[in-house]
Structure 1
């Protein structure tokens, strides 16, 4: 680069990028149910649930609750989690009905979906990657952001 050229200002990280990073984290460090992270004090990269892996993808470190994230990181986390919920709503809906037959939650909870006893690590990784692919497909034209 010549001294007169301006350096790149940075790369825009998309929710799809963060979902793929979360999937990669789960492949490398393991998947967990019941809490964001497996209870361990001896490693900084414990197995994580889908939401915990998204948190790590956004913050770059373990996050016990999304309220611990700063403004920009929190916005990225909520955007990525929202894309994941939208994907689950469309492809793996889980609805909770009360005893009177009323719908309690119109959106699939990524927490209860992750914690379903029949869920597998492969399903979680595949869903994160598919949600990322769908986000890209819906928002790009010819490989460029629309």
Structure 2
């Protein structure tokens, strides 16, 4: 449960920083000191409430999580990609016909490709024109990424 607290706290910080971008939702202001004082006699209830809040945040902000994931890929920001994944984003959500894995390969973002594969991104989804992701990586000269894709079973 400690992880939920740190994920929620860092997510609120990140959402406040990026709240003026299209597709992001700024969470209502919440001071954790006030919140923890409310539940100071019952730590389990406190943690349960944080987990419930995280769940509600994820349910209400699927579009924001999608934007967070794509922003992380487009800006080569692995931390943002990891946060979106931790918060439950659909890791194979498409944008303009490409999956996050396709975009990370195209951007030559080895670290992000690895993060996506470690989190079970579907490497069988074909790239534009029915090219396999491995075929695409090889075609555009991403040898190191192609080797990584093969390690995860891409054909």
- TM-score above 0.5, yes or no: no
Ranked by relative contact order (alpha carbons within 8 Å, sequence separation 6 or more), the top structure is 1
Which structure has the bigger radius of gyration? 2
Structure with the higher fraction of residues in strand conformation: 1
Q: TM-score, normalised by structure 2?
A: 0.23
Q: TM-score, normalised by structure 1?
A: 0.24
Structure with the higher fraction of residues in helix conformation: 2
